[in-house]
Amino acid sequence: MSNQRFRVNTPTVTHETIDGEAVIINLDSGNYYSLVDVGSFVWGLIEKGASASELRNVVLQSYQGNDSDVDRGVEELLAQLQQENLIVPVDGTGALDLAQLELPSNNGHEKPAFNPPLLHKYSDMQELLLLDPIHDVDDAGWPKPNPDPAK
């Protein structure tokens, strides 16, 4: 796993995490996403500037799972998040401060089981953004009204 760090692709991407569920919106594409459980945990670590290898180590430390499952799960999620332009690679060398993290296993209970993180993608709002109403312009240069507004 590499030492590559990432950042959330703001301002194109806006996001909120509530009670361990992340809601992520790509304002350019019209897609939105949700992450729960391990996925939301990883998202929080990305926000804090963790590198890929730090992510993997913290997930291994926090969840019950074997190395190869965690490696694959984290790598696949990072690849998906990049593919959807939700995160972008950044330069940076500072180490993640583990003491500052709220780990799922910090509360004295047994470590939760590692389930491969899934990025849930929703494209049902795209039509609102991807209306291409500029069919033609009139003699003053204004776009002519869309004859079939999708509202």
Partner 1 sequence: MPTAPVDISLNEQSSRSVEYFQSVYDLFKSSQQVTGPVERNFRIGGYLIRLSFSGEALLSLTRALEHLAVDDHATPDLTICLWDSESTGQRMTPRPWQEDDFLARGVIQGYNTERIYTAFQHGSGAVSVLDKERNLAVFWAPDAKLPYWEYGSPIRTILHWWLLSQGLQLVHAAAVGNSTGGVLIGGKGGSGKSTTALACLESDLSYVGDDYTLLGLDSGPVVHSLYNSAKLNSDHVQRFPELLPKVANTERLVDEKALLFVHEHYPSKVATRLPVRAILLPRVTGLPETRWKRVSVAMALAALAPSTIFQLPRAGNEALKFLAAFARQLPCFSLEVGTDLSTIPPVIEELLAEIDSWEE
Question: Restricting to residues 12-51, which ones interact with partner 1 according to CB under 8 A?
Answer: 14-19, 21-23, 25, 27-28, 30, 32, 34
Binding flag, residue 121, partner 1 (CB under 8 A): no
Binding flag, residue 10, partner 1 (CB under 8 A): yes
Tokens linked to 105: 């296993």
Torsional sign, CA 32, 7, 18, 80:
positive
What angle (nearest 5°) sits at the alpha carbon of residue 65, between those of residues 83 and 16?
45
Which residue bears the tokens 């696949």?
Answer: 76
Q: Which is nearer to partner 1, 109 or 151 (CB)?
A: 151
Tokens linked to 35: 């992450």
Question: Rule CB under 8 A: which residues touch partner 1?
Answer: 10-11, 14-19, 21-23, 25, 27-28, 30, 32, 34, 122, 124-125, 128-129, 131, 133-134, 137, 140-146, 149, 151
